Structures are given as structure tokens and as C-alpha cells.
Amino acid sequence: MRSVSFLIVVLLLHGNPLQAEEYRNVEVKKIVTSTKASNGQRLSYLRSKHPEVTVLVVTVPPGGSTGWHKHPVPVYAYMLDGELSVEMKNGSKYKFKKGDAILEVVNTFHNGYNSGRVPASLVVFYTGAVGIPNVVKEHAAETPALP
């Protein structure tokens, strides 16, 4: 466990940021991708023989947006700072602020946008599987989806 904590600190301090063009006006920093739990146990969920967890820190600038997208895998997030509004295709809207947990919808198109005056930062946990995208953009012409 001690080595896992050290690895997390190293990744936080020296992690490689993802390419900025993955989302317009959004900075994305990968924290960790793993096929195993912290104790080394192989992940098993989604009835997949190759489960994979991806954890990102996502920062959306004031007025910025993720664009319409959906997640084919379960996604959970925690707001580190700012506020984020999420709009569904049916018109319903949800607002999240610093300290809120977000349990994201699966296979439902939605758009997240920063409705505040400061950057909105959140840690996002994708509980997917090897070979399955975590994010699917609504229109193929849009920028590529996150890993």
C-alpha cells in the first residue's frame, strides 16, 4: 500500500497531461489507469474479463463546455472547485458545486458546462473495460472523446 501511495503522489506531481484538443477549452490530466485494485486484486465488474479504471482531473474554464456526449461505462466524479451545470436532452438541468459528488448517467447524452466565474475542477472515475471508450461524442466531427 505504501508503494501505491508513493506512485499516486508521483503521478500527481509529474503526470503527463492528455492532449488539449480532446475537449475544447478543457484541461485534462490523467491520474491513473489500472486493471487492478490498490491491493493488486484484479478488477471485476461489468461482466468484463478485462476491467479497467481510469481516473482524471478535468478542469472546465468559465463558460466552457464538454459538448454533448455519453458514457457507455459507469462514471463517478467529485467536484474539487467551482460549479458545473449538466443539461440533459429532455431539458432537465443539474448543478454541482465544490464538494458535491456526481453519479453520471450511462448511455444518455448530456452536456456539462461551467456556469460559474471560476474554473470548475473535478476528479472523474471511469469504471470501464479495456477496449470500451469512456466517452462517446454525439457528433463524430467533434473533437475526439477522452480515453
The tens digit of pLDDT for each residue in 77-131 reads 989 999 999 998 989 899 999 998 888 888 889 999 999 999 999 999 999 999 9
Residues 6+ positions from 140 with CB-CB distance below 8 Å:
none
Residue 70 belongs to some domain of the structure: yes
- The per-residue pLDDT for range 31-90, each reduced to its tens digit, is 668 675 444 545 446 788 899 999 999 999 999 999 999 988 888 898 999 999 999 898
DSSP single-letter state for residue 147: -
Q: Residue 120: which CATH number?
A: 2.60.120.10
Burial level of 10, CB count in 10 A (0-12/13-18/19+)?
exposed
Helix (H) or strand (E) holding 3: helix 2-14
- The per-residue pLDDT for range 1-28, each reduced to its tens digit, is 454 444 444 444 444 454 445 678 888 8
Number of domains the chain is built from = 1
Name the one residue in this structure whose C-alpha cell is 457507455: 72
Which residue range(s) make up the domain with 24?
A: 2-137
Q: What is the pTM of this model?
A: 0.69
